[in-house]
Amino acid sequence: MSLHPSLQKHRSSPSAIIVGAGLGGLAAGIHLARHGWQVTIFEKNRHAGGRMNVLEEAGFRIDMGPTMLMMPEVLHEIFSIGDRDPHDYLPLTKLCPAYRILWPDGTTLDMGVEMNCLVEQVRRIQAADAARVPALLAAMKAKYENARYRFIERSFNSPLDLLHPTTLVGLLKALPLESVYQMVSRYLANEKLRQAFSFQTLYLGISPYRCPSIYALLPYVEMEFGVWFPIGGTYTLARGLERLFIELGGQIRYCLPVDQIAIQGRAAKGVRTADGCEHLADIVVCNLDLPSAYQKLIPNALRRKYSDGALAQKDYGCSGFLLYLGVKGLSLTHLPHNSIVLSENYNEVLDQIFIQRALPTDPAMHLCVPTHTDPSLAPPDHHVLYILVPCPNTQSNICWETAAPILRDRTIGKLERLGLIPNLHQHIVFERWFTPVDFEKLYGCYAGAAYGGLTPTFFQSAYFRPHSRSEEIENLYFVGASTHPGGGVPIVLTSGKLTAELIRKDYARQIFRTN
């Protein structure tokens, strides 16, 4: 096995190979490089960012992944390294409202606004619930503080981490047996309002009826810290991280997939790439979706806890069907930057996605018009429309080759039928779609689960979620949405930071024992 040229220099410095230039891999690489590590990232695609991808065609620039950024202090923290100005890397604009919820009967609710405005809107929907909104958001604030400081920003790699007094107190406060929907329902009686303050768990790939109440925090985060959009699109974040990583001395090898983790005994020694070369490093960090990484990069014979059979038994989140549209000659001033279009029969749609694993007949959707905030994303007199529809992952029996055009027509038909975008189909000049199969093929998402792979149930969270340090192979670490602390842009960046800190501590102990 030979050293990659990038790892032959400064061999006195510890070296790391990272598999995948997603946000977690970039964040881990940045935090290692800033402490003098020699870091090389191998990325199978032509660009960094992973699921934070961009489609540039026919004069349109369309974000393919996340369209909303939250917790800006976490985003800016990583760019504050070395007296850098975060705004040079990520020029953020606050969205107000964060998004508008739209029901089929014409009811609307703007989220991510000032408390007085939110309470007044709720009063128009159901007066009795208006007085309870501040108490609900106060409870959500407590959930946020408990989750962030007792779970999200702490590593869980041994039973002692779980049994730590701080963690045990946090578990008691989390009320893990109560779902997000149940928690919200203790405060609000109106069904529409219950939906408005609980549907956000879909961005974690799980139904609000099943998601533990520790995750009942997003409406508070949206209101307290805001929802943001970078000029140039959310892919600006990926490009900013890539730029910072390279400035710190990191290297990225694009269009070079890793075929296997190189293992000697039960210790990772490097990687074997698709060109047949082997590359050595002191540690390996895998940013590929963890279940896919174990299945594709490590022989089944070397795996106990994460054998193919064990991986198949785990609980994976839902996926998403995405429409990327360029439209011409439409006035969309009645729509904000982000809208959430819910369904007439909310329960039935969730059952179709999570229980029946069938195409939703009345699709709920996230509708984004980013050209309201940044007109440069489309040619003059054009708009970008980004439409995300929650749907089953590839463990369903859906054939997406035939299902995609059906769901496309249902989605566009609903926007036209509700009068949200009349005659939309006549104004489409550019169109692409992205299915759960594409999540599996392009990004390596196990079962095409788009929002972090493993659902954040109680027994797939914190200590029970896959650890940053491999439990099977020495010198192997994981980062990204399928490991602790979970999915979401700021959480994945935190994952990169926690993993890098753990690597540095482990390496320092190893050097101390050697000496």
Separation between Cα atoms, residue 112 and residue 118, nearest integer Å: 8
Query: What long-range pairs does 139-143 form, CB within 8 A, spacing at least 24?
Result: 139/183, 139/187, 139/216, 140/216, 140/217, 140/219, 140/220, 141/217, 141/220, 141/224, 142/173, 143/174, 143/213, 143/214, 143/215, 143/216, 143/217, 143/220
CA-to-CA separations, 335 to 65, 178, 339, in angstroms, rounded = 20, 35, 7
Return the amino acid letter for 57: E
- The per-residue pLDDT for 8 is 41
Separation between Cα atoms, residue 424 and residue 485, nearest integer Å: 40
- The per-residue pLDDT for 304 is 87
Mode of pairing for the β-strands spanning 15-19 and 38-42: parallel
**Sign of the Cα pseudo-torsion (243, 79, 291, 318, in order):** negative
Q: How many other C-beta atoms lie within 10 A of the C-beta of residue 64?
A: 21
Task: Name the burial class of residue 362, with classes exposed (0-12), middle (13-18) and buried (19+) by CB atoms within 10 angstroms of its CB.
Answer: middle
First to last CA, the chain: 26
Separation between Cα atoms, residue 444 and residue 258, nearest integer Å: 12
Separation between Cα atoms, residue 411 and residue 417, nearest integer Å: 10
| Cross-sheet strand order for the sheet of 278-280 | 258-264, 267-273, 278-280
Element holding 24 (H helix, E strand) = helix 23-33
Separation between Cα atoms, residue 296 and residue 299, nearest integer Å: 8
Q: Where are the alpha helices (DSSP H) in 62-213?
A: 72-79, 86-89, 115-125, 127-130, 133-147, 159-163, 165-174, 180-185, 191-196
| Cross-sheet strand order for the sheet of 92-95 | 69-70, 227-230, 92-95
CA-to-CA separations, 418 to 47, 142, 143, 423, in angstroms, rounded = 38, 38, 36, 11
As given in the structure block, the two tokens for residue 1 are 């096995």
Separation between Cα atoms, residue 10 and residue 46, nearest integer Å: 28
Residues 6+ apart with CB under 8 A from 356: none
Separation between Cα atoms, residue 370 and residue 339, nearest integer Å: 11
- The per-residue pLDDT for 215 is 87
As given in the structure block, the two tokens for residue 215 are 């995750």
- The per-residue pLDDT for 157 is 60
Residue 117 near residue 111, CB atoms below 8 Å? no
Residue 50 near residue 289, CB atoms below 8 Å? no
- Sole residue written with tokens 């080759």: 401
Residue 365 near residue 411, CB atoms below 8 Å? yes
What pLDDT tens digit does each residue of the chain (515 aa) get? Answer: 333 444 444 457 999 999 999 999 999 999 999 999 999 999 999 999 999 999 999 999 999 999 999 999 999 999 988 778 999 999 999 999 999 999 999 999 999 999 999 999 999 999 999 999 999 999 999 988 876 666 655 665 655 555 455 654 555 555 557 899 999 999 999 999 999 999 999 999 999 999 988 888 899 999 999 999 999 999 999 999 999 999 999 999 999 999 999 999 999 999 999 999 999 999 999 999 999 999 999 999 899 889 999 999 999 999 999 999 999 999 999 999 999 999 999 999 999 999 999 999 999 999 999 999 999 999 999 999 999 999 999 999 999 999 999 999 999 999 999 999 999 999 999 999 999 999 999 999 999 999 878 888 777 776 668 888 998 899 999 999 888 787 889 989 999 999 999 999 999 888 767 66
Q: Where are the alpha helices (DSSP H) in 313-399?
A: 346-354
Residue 377 near residue 371, CB atoms below 8 Å? yes
As given in the structure block, the two tokens for residue 295 are 């299945």
489 phi and psi, to 5 degrees? -55, -55
264 phi and psi, to 5 degrees? -120, 115
